[in-house]
Amino acid sequence: MTLEQTPLALAQPFIDGLVNNEIRFQYCNACGAAQTFAHDACQHCGAEDLGWKKSSGHGTVYAATIVARAPSDAFRALAPYTLVVVELQEGARIMGHAVPGVRIGDRVVASFFVHQGQTLIRFEK
């Protein structure tokens, strides 16, 4: 009896990208729309032919907060920390950390850091 190979998680290309210090985003082969998150079908046209691309890491801050109260022990040592939603140049939105002081509308570029064994995005000005 052979075990079936574990299927790849939908967001696995994104997770693997972080380990390689790059942001990968899903896009539609039919209409070209960049996707926020990973989907089974294009959020714009509904086509199921989706692929992954590497982002330049450049984007614009869409929303920003400073988390004073961390939700878990793992993040308590980092608090207060800045979280942002960035609209990447390619059109997808992504959540990440950011250097203190970034504001909505700032042009930023992604860098990466490892926190408790996990690679996370930190946007810099």
Partner 1 sequence: MTHAYIAGVGNTAFGRLEGLGTLDLMAKAAKQALADAQLKRSDIDGVLCGYSTTMPHLMISTLFCERFSLRPNYAHGMQLGGATGAAMLMLARELVISGRCKNVLVVAGENRLSGQTRDSSIQTLAQVGHADFEVPNGASVPAYYGLMASRYMHETGVTNADLAEFAVLMRNNAIRHPDSHLTTPITIEDVLASKPIAEPLRLMDCCPISDGAMALIVSAQPSGALKVRMAGAGQAHLHQHLTAMRDVMDCGAARASAIAFKEAGLSVADIDYLGIYDSFTITLLMLLEELGFAARGGAAQRLRKGDYGQHGVLPLNTHGGLLSFGHCGVAGGMAHSVEAYRQFQGQAGVRQVRTPSHAFIHADGGVMSSHVSLILSREA
Instruction: Pick from 21, 33, 37, 112 the residue near partner 1 by CB under 8 A.
Output: 37
Q: Does 5 bind partner 1 (CB under 8 A)?
A: no
Instruction: Pick from 19, 63, 109, 114 the residue near partner 1 by CB under 8 A.
Output: 63
Q: Does 46 bind partner 1 (CB under 8 A)?
A: no
If you search the block for the tokens 């993040």, which residue do you land on?
Answer: 75
CA 8 to chain centre: 18
Q: Does 6 bind partner 1 (CB under 8 A)?
A: no
Instruction: Pick from 97, 108, 110, 123 the residue near partner 1 by CB under 8 A.
Output: 97
CA-angle at 19, arms to 75 and 4, nearest 5°: 105
If you search the block for the tokens 């996370």, which residue do you land on?
Answer: 120
The answer to whether the CB of 18 falls within 8 A of the CB of 112 is: yes
Number of amino acids touching partner 1 (CB under 8 A): 37
